[in-house]
């Protein structure tokens, strides 16, 4: 009788956690075994996602100081943190905090929505506080309709606090709407990583919900460079070598393939 799904999940998780260290290929094999259950069982989906995340972490080569051997924060992997600001009074000071930012991008759209046009705005000041003191990055700059402005920080700031003072023009018929985007450094993966191809596929998987045939196929592709577990493969080869002539021939072929990979 097939054990209940919850029990199966516990057995798989216990089997995995008992291994020290855990090989990435073993993580992915366990995730692949659970993949058919992920669409129906939240516990299975959560475990698959965790296994993929752990494999991604290990493939980057974690170091004791919390950084990675094969990945680093870089503007090459920028993530956008977007906020919208409605300048609904004569002067408005607006603040935003974040981590690992390296620039701001301000946009004054041509239209506020499908029916209404936007209005230009004056940027009285853009100030950055990086924890070592505040500095003004920009002062008294007109931002016209349909204009975009990028303001670099000069470095990746671990903890940034940004203050922007907007001033509405007195003759504006509408409140200006400004899109503020903070550019946040993301992890850039070194292409010289020996596991670069597996890592690329794991990054794609990390943003997808586990479950379905496409997800299972992508897991299979991520495991293409994995060598089968030696003990399990040798046991199967031994079984084949004790069989009929056709099975013995298959056993010899598998043994030759295994030796080439070792």
43 and 91 fall within a common domain: no
Domain end call among 169, 189, 209? 189
CA contacts within 13 A on the Cβ side of 95: 5
Which of residues 242 and 182 earns the better pLDDT score? 182
Using CA atoms of 244, 246, 252, 254 in order, give the dihedral in degrees to the nearest 10: -110
pLDDT at 262 over 90: no
Q: Residue 20, Cα to own-chain centre: how many angstroms?
A: 26
Q: What is the pLDDT of residue 2?
A: 45
Upper half-sphere CA count for residue 96 (Cβ side, 13 Å)? 20
Number of H helices, E strands in the chain: 7, 6
Residue 8: pLDDT band with limits 50, 70, 90: low
Asked if residue 95 and residue 145 are part of one domain, the reply reads: yes
Closest CA to 100 of 188, 215, 222, 201: 188
What are 53-73's pLDDT values in tens digits? 999 999 999 999 999 999 999
At 110-137, the pLDDT tens digits run 998 878 899 999 999 999 999 999 999 9
- pLDDT for res 20: 41
Tell which wins on pLDDT, 168 or 112. 168
pLDDT of residue 199: 93
Same-domain check for residues 177 and 202: no
Alpha carbons 233 and 254: distance in angstroms, whole number: 8
- Residues 84-105 have a mean pLDDT of 95
Residues 82 and 143 in one domain: yes
**Per-residue confidence band for 147, with pLDDT thresholds at 50, 70 and 90:** very high
CATH number at 118 reads 2.60.120.1300
> What pLDDT shows up at residue 1?
39
pLDDT tens by residue, 209-257: 998 889 999 999 999 878 666 667 777 788 888 889 998 899 889 888 8
Helix (H) or strand (E) holding 238: helix 230-241
Mean pLDDT of 159-183: 94
Same domain, 217 and 232: no
- Does the pLDDT value for residue 158 go beyond 60? yes
In terms of domains, do 3 and 92 share one?
A: no
Q: Are residues 197 and 156 in the same domain?
A: no
Share of the chain above pLDDT 90, in %: 60
Share of the chain above pLDDT 70, in %: 89
CA dihedral 34, 39, 45, 51 (to 10 degrees): 40
Asked if 64 and 107 sit in the same domain, the reply is no
Do 182 and 81 meet the contact criterion of CB atoms below 8 Å apart? Answer: yes
Structure-block tokens of residue 95: 């603040």
Residues 6+ apart with CB under 8 A from 78: 102, 183, 184, 185, 186
Residue 50: is its pLDDT beyond 70? yes
Domain that holds residue 246: 227-262
Task: Count how many domains the chain has.
Answer: 3
Report whether pLDDT(14) > 60: no
Do residue 115 and residue 7 come from a single domain? no
64 and 111 housed in the same domain: no
What confidence score (pLDDT) does residue 131 get?
Answer: 93
Supply 144's token pair.
């016209």
């Amino acid at each position: 009788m097939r054990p209940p799904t919850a029990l199966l999940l516990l057995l798989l998780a216990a089997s995995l956690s008992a291994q020290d260290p855990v090989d990435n290929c073993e993580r992915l094999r366990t995730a692949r075994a659970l993949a058919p259950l992920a669409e129906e069982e939240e516990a299975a989906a959560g475990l698959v996602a965790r296994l993929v995340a752990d494999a991604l972490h290990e493939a980057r080569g974690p170091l004791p100081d919390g950084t990675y051997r094969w990945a680093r924060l870089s503007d090459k992997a920028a993530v956008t943190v977007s906020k919208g600001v409605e300048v609904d009074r004569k002067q408005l000071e607006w603040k935003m905090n974040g981590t690992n930012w390296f620039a701001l991008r301000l946009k004054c759209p041509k239209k506020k929505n499908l029916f209404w046009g936007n209005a230009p705005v004056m940027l009285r000041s853009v100030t950055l506080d990086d924890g070592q003191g505040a500095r003004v990055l920009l002062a008294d700059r007109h931002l016209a309709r349909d204009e975009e402005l990028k303001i670099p920080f000069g470095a990746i700031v671990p903890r940034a606090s940004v203050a922007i003072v907007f001033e509405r023009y007195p003759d504006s018929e509408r409140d200006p709407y400004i899109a503020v985007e903070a550019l946040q450094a993301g992890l850039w993966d070194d292409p010289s990583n020996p596991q670069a191809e597996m890592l690329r596929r794991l990054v794609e998987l990390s943003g997808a919900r586990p479950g379905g045939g496409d997800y299972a196929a992508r897991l299979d592709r991520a495991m293409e460079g994995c060598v089968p577990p030696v003990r399990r493969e040798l046991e199967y080869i031994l079984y084949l070598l004790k069989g009929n002539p056709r099975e013995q021939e298959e056993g010899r072929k598998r043994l030759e393939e295994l030796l080439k990979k070792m």
